[in-house]
Amino acid sequence: MKVVVDTQRCVGAGQCVWVAPQVFDQREEDGIVRLIEPRPSEALHDFVREAERVCPARAIRIEE
């Protein structure tokens, strides 16, 4: 799995960080998503899929 984020679409809601803090963070200055683990371990895949699902801006994309 490869995770891709679109910082231009991100609205800083932080849902991804809440669901998968091992993979996502937010920039301090504006709350926009920051990808910290673009290729998460298999143990995190379900969490990343949930983060993609709950993102209100659809700023997260998963490539299998």
User: 27 lies in which domain range?
Assistant: 2-63
CATH classification of the domain holding 31: 3.30.70.20
- Stretch 53-62: mean pLDDT: 98
Candidates 35, 39, 40; CA nearest to 55 is: 35
**Residue-wise pLDDT tens digits, 30-50:** 999 999 999 999 999 999 999
* CA-CA-CA-CA torsion sign (57, 60, 61, 64): negative
CB 60 within 8 A of CB 11: no
CB 22 within 8 A of CB 2: no
Question: In terms of pTM, does the model score above 0.85?
Answer: yes
